[in-house]
Amino acid sequence: MSQSAAITPPARIAVIGLGNMGRPMSACLARAGYHVVGFDISAEARSAYAEAGGTAASTASDAVAGAAAVVTLLGDGKIVRSAIEGVKAHLAPGAVVIDMSSSAPIGTRALGEELIAAGFGFIDAPVSGGVKRAVDGTLAIMAGGDGATIDRAEPVLKAMGKSIFRTGPLGSGHAAKALNNYVSAAGLAAAVEALAIGGRFGIEPEVLVDVLNASTGRNNSTENKLKQFVIPEKYTSGFSLALMAKDIGTADELAHDIGVSAPLADQVTALWSAAMQALGPGADHVEIGRYLTAKR
């Protein structure tokens, strides 16, 4: 395949990271006709992937060998760098690395520049939409990097997402993802506080949610989280509080790194970090409702 050609089926795609998002996103790629080979450091995750019908490699190096694109879905940018450095010698000439993890933008830019200098392609393309939209291939994807490289990777991205946003230079996808989650987290915290205040004054939570959703206070959390998870105390949204806190911190750190004053981001970061410490890393992010209610 030419280094300028679009990566289309049945090209080989390596997926590094077979967690809650990696498994369904791999399945979307396979349904689109790609030859997908997955790898995870967890033997249990590899076994589960294989049992579900996927092709699992025993090592990351085996997974990336001959792959036109390598998709990373890992915990953070430091893990991504370690994984890519470990397989760099085994990457096919001109292969495109697509980091779909939630990584720190400045670290992403540094890693991408190194890979590009070595003759590989690189874009950052984190996602929004959660496991449900990963399963049905309707994720929102924020792609940062060179336009020609995004052009090559676009068929791969379209197999997993419904909306592809070209956000700008390297690292901008990860910046957009972190900023999106910061705004989402701020909205959720504000909505939960509003329910607590309204409840103390005698307004039924469901009634206040209806008011918000018919008014200017409407946001993703009022529509999709309050009645579904927070009010019935069913904390099963599938996205962890620890990951949300990490993404908010990434947005706040970026603001400080580039000299932008963000006092609200500072406070939201502190709030979610305190919630994570109090509830533990295994808590679902909608448990911020439980944390804030307990503090009343």
pLDDT tens per residue, range 54-80: 999 999 999 999 999 999 999 999 999
- Residues near 43 by beta carbon (within 8 Å), at least 6 away in sequence: none
pLDDT tens per residue, range 23-44: 999 999 999 999 999 999 999 9
| pLDDT at site 295 | 61
| pLDDT at site 2 | 58
Stretch 48-53: mean pLDDT: 93
Residue from 186, 127, 137 nearest 158 by CA: 137
Distance CA 160, CA 127 (A): 9
Distance CA 209, CA 6 (A): 46
| pLDDT at site 119 | 97
| pLDDT at site 117 | 97
State whether residue 141 is helix, strand or coil. strand
| pLDDT at site 161 | 97
CB-based contact 112:170 (threshold 8 Å): yes
Q: Is 177 one of the catalytic residues?
A: yes
How sure is the predictor about 1, in pLDDT bands with cuts at 50, 70 and 90?
low
Same fold, 12-169 and 175-294: no
CA dihedral (82, 85, 86, 90) positive or negative: positive
Residue-range domain boundaries for the chain: 12-169, 175-294
The CATH topology of domain 12-169 is Rossmann fold (3.40.50)
3-state helix, strand, coil in the chain (%, to 5): 55, 15, 30
- State the catalytic residue, choosing from 78, 158, 177, 246: 177
CB-based contact 32:159 (threshold 8 Å): yes
Residue from 273, 279, 277 nearest 291 by CA: 279
Average pLDDT, the chain: 95
CATH of 175-294, one of 1.10.1040.10, 1.10.3720.10, 2.60.40.10, 1.25.40.340: 1.10.1040.10
Distance CA 273, CA 92 (A): 40
Q: What is the DSSP string of 96-123?
A: EEEE-S---HHHHHHHHHHHHHTT-EEE
Q: DSSP secondary-structure letter at 240? A: B
As a dihedral over the C-alpha atoms of residue 121, residue 116, residue 83, residue 102, rounded to 10 degrees, the angle is -70
Stretch 197-219: mean pLDDT: 97
